[in-house]
Amino acid sequence: MWTDFSLETITNSFVFQRFDKLIVEPFFQTALMVGIATLIATVIGIPLGVFLATSKRGELLAMPITSRIVGAIVNALRAIPFIILAVYIFPITRWVVGSAIGTAAAIVPLTIAAIPFIARLVETHIREVDQGLVEAARAFGANPFQIIWKVLLPESLPGIVLVLTLAIISLIGFSAMVGAIGGGGLGDVALRWGYAQNKIDVMNVIVVLLIVVNQLVQMFGEYISRRINKRVIIRNTPKPDSLS
């Protein structure tokens, strides 16, 4: 059936006739859930990653005990499979959005899953910053906040952009599971219509759409990361003539 691509087959297909309900609306639900979850997780995850990278004994913000506790919480959150996390934190979700069911409610577990993910990966990129740069900044009288703001974050920014790209792609994957708690979205449609109702055309369109979206997100993330990475010379990039 799915090898028949005549115009009539397509226009008569279930997915085409209900394209708005099956594809467009779920697409925006997914985009909304992933977008907001990424945004909040970024705002919390990056500082958390910086903290994890600078708080061990002998480090910039040395708070070994707090660091261990935060690290343990982050590890614990990462250990829980997403679908279990989503139902496990129902009380928190209900407290935050007033309901445990629906698109808005789905944002809560997505955000909570993304925060430790972003934090751990940001940590590794911050740790990769040459210690010589930190020493130089200290030698010029930088305080720990200035070292983070003027050295660690700018120097690891290309890596952090790739972390966020990865977070978006992972969250698109996780969002397929929030159908279980009424979150909606493309994954939910694929499971309920494509799989349970055996509408193969619905499944095909959504799978292709997800592949394309992931590909675009990845390409865009890599492009931005390359543009802001000054460690390697990019040819054919004109340099501005004066310092703004």
Partner 1 sequence: MYSRSTAEKTVAQDQTAAPIVQLKDVRKVFASHDGGTHVALDGVNLSVNKGDVLGVIGRSGAGKSTLIRLLNGLEKPTSGSVIVNGDEISSFDEVSLRQARRSIGMIFQHFNLLSSRTVAQNIALPLELAGANRSDITKRVDELLDLVGLSDRKDRYPSELSGGQKQRVGIARALATNPEVLLSDEATSALDPETTRSILELLSNINRELGLTIVLITHEMAVVRSIANQVAVIEHGHIVEQGDVFDIFTRPAHDVTRSFLGHESGRALPPSVAAKLKATPGPKSEAVVRIIFRGPHATDPVLAQLATEADIAANIVSGSIDEVGGRPFGIITVSLPSDPKLLDKALTFLKVRHLDTEVLGYVD
Binding positions for partner 1, rule: CB under 8 A: 130, 132-133, 135-143, 146, 150-151, 154-155, 157, 228, 230-233, 239-243
CB of 228 to partner 1, least distance (A): 8
The dihedral region occupied by 141, where left means phi > 0, alpha psi between -120 and 50, and beta the remainder, is left
Query: How far, in Å, CA of 70 to CA of 4, rounded?
Result: 55
By beta-carbon proximity to partner 1, the closer residue of 147 and 164 is 147
By beta-carbon proximity to partner 1, the closer residue of 151 and 171 is 151
Q: What is the dihedral of CA 156, 158, 160, 165, to 10 degrees?
A: -170
CB of 137 to partner 1, least distance (A): 7
By beta-carbon proximity to partner 1, the closer residue of 79 and 231 is 231
CB of 132 to partner 1, least distance (A): 4
CB of 133 to partner 1, least distance (A): 5
Which amino acid appears at position 122 of this protein? Answer: V
- Quote the tokens at residue 107: 């944002």
By beta-carbon proximity to partner 1, the closer residue of 1 and 139 is 139
Q: What is the dihedral of CA 17, 21, 22, 27, to 10 degrees?
A: 130
Query: How far, in Å, CA of 62 to CA of 128, rounded?
Result: 18
